[in-house]
Amino acid sequence: MKPWQKDQQHRALERRREILLAELERDAARLREERTGERTDVTPDLDQADLSRDQHELRELEAAQRRLDDGTYGICTDCGVQIGFERLHAEPEAARCIDCQRRHEKTYRA
């Protein structure tokens, strides 16, 4: 991966991480309000699945940042081939090449 690509991916990971942390913080505040009965807005109740999904994505982003730091970012964790930059640009936290990701989703479909 070229240095400018690495910098771009680092910024993308950090931006998404900041957005997720802000969402999780807002969600935690809303949950506290719901529990204490202080909630006055009319937004729908939080869904535990949404919280779990956001927490999972945050863990994936943090893992991608560790791979970026240790030099393994952009290398498929399953087969070891280089993950295309287009895929990483679209999904910065991607740990697998597209073929291995498809296989993973078929195998571990919920």
Nearest to 80 by CA among 72, 88, 92: 72
pTM of the model: 0.77
30: confidence class by pLDDT, cuts 50, 70, 90: confident
CA distance 47 to 4: 39
Mean pLDDT of the chain, nearest integer:
87
pLDDT surpassing 80 at residue 49:
no
Is residue 84 over pLDDT 50? yes
Mean pLDDT value across residues 18-33: 86
Identify the structural domains of the chain with CATH numbers, from first to last. 3-107 (1.20.120.910)
Residues 6+ apart with CB under 8 A from 84: 97, 98
Distance of alpha carbon 20 from alpha carbon 36, whole angstroms: 24
Q: Rounded CA gap, 47 and 108, in Å?
A: 23
